[in-house]
Structure 1
């Protein structure tokens, strides 16, 4: 059965520990751990303890492959993925979420597709490659900053992730992307965005991606992977305001995803 999970990055600048607390209080089914600058997120034992304490399973580990996590767990990209797999095994997660390489990581990019397949074979985990977007400073045409491509449907990955905020920047229709990916779509970062160059990560329903239509499509097509809310609550004026956004996001997901 598809679970509705919460990404720990959704509560930033609060900590990974707070994310588990919010997830339990509000009623999420699971947590996705974003390995980032929060020291707790980098410690497998701490994540396992949080999961046990809050009785909240970990659905996925998001590898530290963002710009601001380039030095988390070292700078060697394959080493980061191997450590992410080790954490996933230790905490009972079946999925590692990973971004495609940046264009300046040419050696990494040259063997990325084959390397991901090899990691899946050796670890038994799904490495769900996430859609990214062209970088653009305005509404003009963007620059390709990811290799082999920002759109995972262009490559032969066995497992993929759709992030709705990223699709908004790329001006891609999320239902069409899901149709291109078919059964290879295993993971969702549910959020929202508008026709902006910024990675907004809005509460679903507050943007223009058609998040409700997308969820209905997933339900109708028999999607049985993980749905994870990954929203930006940095501007929340209080814990109560942050909790309200997290609760609204969960209610939106459950209203529109009805298998």
Structure 2
């Protein structure tokens, strides 16, 4: 059965430890650990302890490949993926989520597609490459990811669709899912509107028709992981943050299980 998980980044600025607590109290099936500036997220032993303490399994590890995590676990991008795989094995996760390289990481980008395939073969894990977007300012846009922001343009065995990223890129997520077919392994369920900002809204509060997307996944037999990755930074209180997390979980279960 497809699990509905919670990304630890969804509770920022609260910590990875708080994310496990919210996941348990709200009723999520699993956690995706975003390896980031929170020191706990970088410590495999701490993540394993949190998982066991709250009895919430880890479904995926998100490698530290964001712009603001460029120095987390060093600066070698392949080294970051190797450490992400080590954490995934240790905590029982089957998937590592990874972004395509930035355009200035030319050597990494040149070997990326082949290298990801080798990482999967060597580790036995799914390295699910995530869709990104062109960087937009005013009426101009720039391709900042190589080989491309859309993983369906390359021969990846496993991929991730993020609805907020697709909103910026003005991509049709149902059409992207159809192009990917069985290669679609992982979902970052969220929402967004047509603009330059990566909003990560509670699903249903944007323009991506997240409900129809979930129903489409259900009818096509999707068997991967669905992870809520939302922005709750503006929550006025813990109760408000928990309410957003609960609404997101209920939305996912209603429309996917339907």
**Range class of TM-score, shorter chain:** over 0.9
User: Does residue 1:172 correspond to 2:171, yes or no?
Assistant: yes
Aligned to 1:195, what secondary structure does the other structure show? coil
Q: Distance in 2 between matches of 1:162 and 1:170?
A: 12
Other-structure match for 1:32: 32
How many Å apart are 1:137 and its aligned residue? 1.3
Point out where structure 1 has 5 or more consecutive residues left out of the alignment: none
**TM-score of the two chains, using structure 1 as the length reference:** 0.99
Aligned to 2:157, what secondary structure does the other structure show? coil
Within 5 Å, which residues of 2 pair with 1:245-256?
245-256=244-255
Aligned to 2:211, what secondary structure does the other structure show? helix
Q: Distance in 2 between matches of 1:37 and 1:29?
A: 25
Segments of 4+ moved more than 4 angstroms: none
Other-structure match for 1:182: 181
Other-structure match for 1:150: 149
Q: Distance in 2 between matches of 1:178 and 1:150?
A: 15
Other-structure match for 2:211: 212
Other-structure match for 1:112: 112
The number of residues matched between the two structures is 258
Q: Distance in 2 between matches of 1:131 and 1:177?
A: 10
Q: Distance in 2 between matches of 1:258 and 1:180?
A: 23
CA RMSD of aligned residues (A): 0.6
User: Does residue 1:68 correspond to 2:68, yes or no?
Assistant: yes
Deviation per residue, 1:1-40 (Å, 9 max, x gap): 1000000000000000000000000000000000000000
Q: Distance in 2 between matches of 1:216 and 1:51?
A: 30
**TM-score of the two chains, using structure 2 as the length reference:** 0.99
How many Å apart are 1:141 and its aligned residue? 4.3
Within 5 Å, which residues of 2 pair with 1:16-55?
16-55=16-55
Point out where structure 2 has 5 or more consecutive residues left out of the alignment: none
Other-structure match for 1:10: 10
